[in-house]
Chain A
Amino acid sequence: TQLLEQSPQFLSIQEGENLTVYCNSSSVFSSLQWYRQEPGEGPVLLVTVVTGGEVKKLKRLTFQFGDARKDSSLHITAAQPGDTGLYLCAGAGRGSTLGRLYFGRGTQLTVWP
């Protein structure tokens, strides 16, 4: 059972375009993380959001945590070829599962020059 659903699964765009990817769940998480992963490498942490409604910006990337802490979005402005990669969202467990992260399947982004 996939606790986190990411959409779209694949996204192919031209350099300079804007895009948004979504991460949705029916479960509440204590925090939500976004990672980017290159082929053959481990995920690299981009951001953590903790508070419902929180918005964080990282240069051209804007991350938002839903008010109910069940969903999140990642918006990229003026995408560049260097943004190409697999974007993963991960929710942190609560209570007895506090130690684990639950990952979505990811959005594979390709930005063409």
Chain B
Amino acid sequence: DTGVSQNPRHKITKRGQNVTFRCDPISEHNRLYWYRQTLGQGPEFLTYFQNEAQLEKSRLLSDRFSAERPKGSFSTLEIQRTEQGDSAMYLCASSYTGEAYEQYFGPGTRLTVT
């Protein structure tokens, strides 16, 4: 399977703990995106990378959130000191630079903060 993969698929954590999610994009894609989706809403943009460079960050991405893509391949999204409001589905997508609008999504990581 050459689609976007995300791990873990589900994560339950206690408030105040740190969590890290991983995304492996489609191998030929040089752009990688992170979105967050809460119940009843469409996905909301968080940040994106072109190769290893983080080119844009949303205001939704507070100081507790950090994303990396160290070698321009997989990416990690870390949330420090989780809060109940962080409970959501975290989605990763990838695309070619030339067709940046055609973003292909992974299955997501469902985070529940108790």
Contacts and interface: CB of A to CB of B under 8 A. Distances in A.
Interface of A: 4, 30-31, 33, 35, 40-45, 48, 88, 90, 92, 97-106
A103 B104 CA distance: 14
Contacts of B44: 103
Contacts, number: 65
Nearest to A99: B48
A99 B100 contact: yes
Given A40-B110, A100-B33, A100-B45, 12 more contacts: A31-B101, A42-B4, A42-B107, A43-B91, A43-B105, A90-B42, A98-B100, A99-B33, A99-B56, A100-B58, A101-B43, A105-B40
Contacts of A104: 42
B47 to A, nearest CB: 9
Contacts of B22: none
A40 B105 CA distance: 13
Given A100-B56, A103-B44, A42 B105 contact: yes
B104 A45 contact: yes
Contacts of A45: 102-105
B42 A106 contact: yes
Contacts of A30: 101
Contacts of B50: 99
Given A97-B56, A99-B55, A33 B40 contact: no
B108 interface: yes
Contacts of B4: 42
B105 A33 contact: no
